[in-house]
Amino acid sequence: MSSERLTSVLVADDSALLRQVVADIVGQSGEFTIAGFATDGHEAIQMVHDLNPDIVTLDIEMPGLDGLHALGYIMSEAPRPVIVLSALDATHGAALAIRALELGALDFVRKPAARADADALAAPLLEALRVAAAANVSGTRVLARPPLHPPTGAPPTTTASIAVAIAASTGGPRALAEVVPALPANLEAAVVIVQHMPSGFTRGFAERLDSLSQLWVREARDGEQLVTGTVYVAPGGHHLGLVARQGGPALVVSDGPPIWGVRPAADPLFSSVATLFGPRAIGVVLTGMGRDGATGLRAIRRSGGRGLVQTPESAVVPGMPTAALSEAGADLMVPLGDVANAIASDVARCHAQWRASA
């Protein structure tokens, strides 16, 4: 019998059915074990301290103290990987799910409506637990709601001469909620983001970033012209790229097959940015599982553009930054807290060089 320690999981949910379903999945995995069960947010917090579980699965809607408040406490007082396990969907719960990810939850997994659907939960839950087991949240700070700096006046219309492409996956919503609001209002570039996220959630995510940011943030639309001072978020379930049009670079939303198992994927976006902008392209790879963005970052750097990578040590999941460094290298490697300033500095340098050569 193996003496290897199994990863412990605390299940916080007011539904006895869901607690049993998760217990069955965890118990049959051979990789994880149940640390305990909590029926509300207060119990979850207490059991985190008493049992010290490796991972917490957390429902958002619970009686008493809800999941969001419990999550905020856990990530501030006893940080550990948290997976939101909820029946909320993109129609009724996108804002809550996005807020949970912003507070530091690693992933969002939909729970079944009935026991008959339990088999459909096993694969995504186990995948999320495996990612959580490899995650590093020890340096995660509670992300307070920043002061609102909504842009004023009409949206910008100047065609972008510089493009910043950002790739993020697991841990990305929280990372982007730190980076995008810190970008200056006078950023002389367009920012295009691929965050691995399912269909239906990215519009709410873009709206949330927009409410926190000095730049205009929106979900990308097919055929839209790329303009400066604007942040575009790839729509969930679709790839995003850029093409040259008569009026300037434009966004292209497509339904091609998944790349590296994800859609949207960052590599096609980065490659199109490299083709259209060359030395006026800046690629940024943030936290995430896998290797998406590495090939695209190499294309940007080979075209004369700049490559910026979050330090793996500061990433909740270091897979994407590590792969990018291995395949593409980087012109600059910085911790998450310095990413926004690094982007702004690179854009200013790039703009000065472009103006000088014009």
3-class secondary structure for 339-355? HHHHHHHHHHHHHHHHH
Please state the pTM of the whole predicted model: 0.92
Q: In sequence order, which residues have a C-beta less than 8 Å from that of residue 352 and are 6 or more positions away?
A: none
3 state SS of 320: helix
Question: Under a CB-based contact definition with an 8 Å cutoff, are residues 92 and 99 in contact?
Answer: no
80: tokens are 């550990």
Say whether 271 is catalytic. Answer: no
Task: For 83-133, give the DSSP string.
Answer: EEEES--TTTSHHHHHHHHHHT--EEEEPPSSGGGHHHHHHHHHHHHHHHH
Return the pLDDT at 1: 40
| pLDDT tens string 175-213 | 999 999 999 999 999 999 999 988 888 998 999 999 999
Residues in the chain where the model's pLDDT stays below 70: 1-3, 89-92, 113-117, 140-150, 358
Let me know how long the chain is: 358
Return the pLDDT at 120: 84
Question: Under a CB-based contact definition with an 8 Å cutoff, are residues 98 and 90 in contact?
Answer: no
Q: Which helix (H) or strand (E) holds 76?
A: helix 67-77
The active-site residue out of 292, 303, 338, 346 is 292
For 22, 102, 204, 278, the CA distances from 76, given in Å and listed in that order, are: 26, 13, 25, 42
Return the pLDDT at 141: 65
The active-site residue out of 54, 107, 196, 314 is 196
Task: For 10-39, give the DSSP string.
Answer: EEE-S-HHHHHHHHHHHHHHSSEEEEEEES
**Cα 182 to Cα 40: distance, rounded to the nearest angstrom:** 35
The active-site residue out of 54, 86, 161, 169 is 169
Say whether 196 is catalytic. Answer: yes
Please name each of the domains of the chain with its CATH number.
7-134 (3.40.50.2300), 163-357 (3.40.50.180)
| pLDDT tens string 247-274 | 899 999 999 999 999 999 999 999 999 9
Say whether 149 is catalytic. Answer: no
* Average pLDDT over all residues of the chain: 91
**Cα 193 to Cα 165: distance, rounded to the nearest angstrom:** 6
Return the pLDDT at 341: 97
**Cα 54 to Cα 59: distance, rounded to the nearest angstrom:** 17
